[in-house]
Structure 1
Amino acid sequence: MTVALMWEAKASEGRGGELLSWARAQELDASPQRRETFRAPGDRVLVITWWSAELSAKLPELPDPPEQLTARPVHRWRFEQV
């Protein structure tokens, strides 16, 4: 089974590029099977990481970005493959 973690943040006005760069530069304590980064209208950034279920108890997540880069709190979701 695979676990997918989704991390989404909305940038403060005019700071979408900075938020994207910040998210791409973040390293995790372990390496996921796969990691993809997306951007969307409204200066939103989405990062999805895929993990083996064996690691699912303690999966590393991206931290919150510096407060000045975001317009609202970060959203996080966890999905299990079915």
Structure 2
Amino acid sequence: MTVALMWEARAAEGRGDELLAWARAQGLPREPVRRETFRAPQDRVLVVTWWDAGLHDTLPELPAPPDALTSRPPHRWRFESLGLT
């Protein structure tokens, strides 16, 4: 099974580039199958990691960034891949 973990945060005013750099610099204790980083309007940063794992397995996740970089705590979601259509 493939599981995708999504992590999304919104930067504090004027700190979008710093939040993006912080997210890109975060290592994980083991490597996912794939990792992709996205940017969106309103200085949002999204990181998606894909894992060969079960939906409820314990997997490494990005931590919360320093409070000064964000306007709110990050959101996290976990999805089971249903394959390409």
Q: TM-score, normalised by structure 1?
A: 0.95
| Over 6 Å off, 4+ runs | none
Cα distance, 1:56 vs. partner?
Answer: 5.4
- Alignment: residue pair count: 82
2:57 partner SS: helix
Q: Does 1:48 align with 2:48?
A: yes
Q: Any unmatched runs of 5+ in structure 2?
A: none
1:77 partner SS: strand
Residue 61 of structure 1: aligned partner: 61
Q: Any unmatched runs of 5+ in structure 1?
A: none
RMSD of aligned residue pairs (Cα, Å): 1.3
Structure with more of its chain in helix, by fraction? 1
Q: TM-score, normalised by structure 2?
A: 0.92
Question: In the alignment, residue 45 of structure 1 is paired with which amino acid?
Answer: V
Residue 2 of structure 2: aligned partner: 2
